[in-house]
Amino acid sequence: MATGIGLFLLSPQGVEAALGDRTLQPGMTHQDVKELQDLLKQKGYFTFHTSTGFYGDITKAAVERFQQAHHLPKTGIADANTLNTLLNDAQATLRVGSRGQAVTNLQNDLRALGTFNHATTGYFGPITEAAVKEFQLRNGLRATGIADSATLDGIKRIRANGTQQQTQETSRSATSQTTLQIGSRGNAVSEVQTLLKDANLFNYHTITGYYGEITATGVRDFQRQANLQVTGRADTQTVQALRDHVQKLKQQQAAAQPSQTVSTPTVQSESSFVLKVGQTSDSVRELQHQLKSLGYFNHQVTGYFGPITETAVRAFQRDHQLIVDGVVTTSTLNKIVDEAAKKLLPAIVLPSETAKSFDVMNLIADASQLLGTPYLWGGTTSRGMDCSGFIQYVFQKNGVQLPRTVAQMWNVGSTVSKPKVGDLVFFETYTRGPSHAGIYIGNNQFIHSGSSTGVTISNMTTNYWSSRYLGSKTYQ
């Protein structure tokens, strides 16, 4: 194996002459097969602990995975086309130890994509390897830290999409499609009026959704206060500055409030729900799931807010008359949640599976049997379940009918000061108000379907869950 790899690294042309001159297929035993296995192993497709020289089922499966990744016919046979693609791919691969302009270009691209935050050196070391791995993880690629052709193509495609998107944004700005002015109507205007009202700059008794002189006056007052060009029009710069101003006002108000002696659930501020490019979180993951259900996001859910997610958000905002800036504020998120909720289907439990009477221990047992079930937004079966679908399914199996969404479950439950086994515990995660829930099983633990974990057991005392806890409800 070491000899095969050494020959490849020292003389790729020699390997090509030896490896590309014949078709390799299951059943063969040959030095070319060993070299094929070496190359596939370097790229993460051949997972056996050593190269054997025998073309068996493991090699066939590795070749199939390579063919699928490179859009070749998935035959499992290493024909001339497959071998040439593999060899060309290997020569173009960048890895630890690589040097030159290709590495410099890679580092510059990764910096633009937010994974490489160091000086460009032209040397592929551990820092560059970590940046490549992060890019691969964000985009659903095999996280090897090796910049193979699939990774380099992905980088090139995303950079191109980002450039195209910037051009489109410039074009839209030039035609004032994202600028609100007298005569504008819709949800985007309502959002600006709400921000102005929070800043004490909207002198009308109600939000109208119509951009008239009162709204324009409020915008002018703010622009004057913020040292912006005083136009009376709410362009992107003005709206973002207004958001930042309102956020600071709310933080100042919260800091000025006296401490409370009675313990209350922790509620996140509205500003914490702003999602935008560069963020990675479960909130972004949930956003992508919901955009996917609405047909705006047609890619793998990663939890990373990149150019593809931003494009999906802009399309949704445009279709629903929101401010088209790709930033997920509370108003945008609430609209996404409302529209996605319409797509949810109730859990189905066969009558023969339903218990005749409620027993909390049976409830916990049924919930525990689903541990390990993958997360699937909108799912309500053992093939995949979302948060509320999991709860509805388990309760319905035990004779208790609950509504389909977490917010609805919160509304129909009876509040308890301290949860007991079988009660629901609610959390504020990706939007204001109850947005996630689980079944309390005692000892500060609850079972739930998390967007990044599937059905699992979590502890309420961890920093993540304790800071998001809203309260408990009982349905017994």
* Residues marked as catalytic: 387, 436, 448
Which amino acid appears at position 94 of this protein? Answer: L
Question: What is the C-alpha to C-alpha distance for residues 110 and 136, in angstroms, rounded to an integer?
Answer: 11
What does the buried/exposed string (b/e) look like for 297-322 if buried means 16 or more CB atoms within 10 Å of the residue's CB? beeebbbbbbbbbbbbbbbbbeebbb
Q: How far is CA 339 from the centre of its chain?
A: 18
Question: What is the C-alpha to C-alpha distance for residues 93 and 444, in angstroms, rounded to an integer?
Answer: 49
Q: H helices within 274-322, ranges in order?
A: 282-293, 307-319
Which amino acid appears at position 17 of this protein? Answer: A
CB 396 within 8 A of CB 347: yes
Residues in the chain: 476
Question: What is the C-alpha to C-alpha distance for residues 269 and 247, in angstroms, rounded to an integer?
Answer: 9
Question: What is the C-alpha to C-alpha distance for residues 289 and 301, in angstroms, rounded to an integer?
Answer: 7
What does the buried/exposed string (b/e) look like for 39-50 if buried means 16 or more CB atoms within 10 Å of the residue's CB? bbbbbbbbeeee
Question: What is the C-alpha to C-alpha distance for residues 178 and 175, in angstroms, rounded to an integer?
Answer: 8
Q: β-strands 454-459, 445-450: how paired?
A: antiparallel
Q: H helices within 76-140, ranges in order?
A: 80-92, 101-112, 126-138
Structure tokens at 458: 């979590």
The closest alpha carbon to 424, from 403, 448, 454, belongs to 448
Structure tokens at 347: 């859990």
Question: What is the C-alpha to C-alpha distance for residues 16 and 236, in angstroms, rounded to an integer?
Answer: 55
Question: What is the C-alpha to C-alpha distance for residues 149 and 242, in angstroms, rounded to an integer?
Answer: 44
Structure tokens at 81: 């086309």
SS3 (DSSP) at 472: strand
SS3 (DSSP) at 339: helix
Question: What is the C-alpha to C-alpha distance for residues 211 and 230, in angstroms, rounded to an integer?
Answer: 16
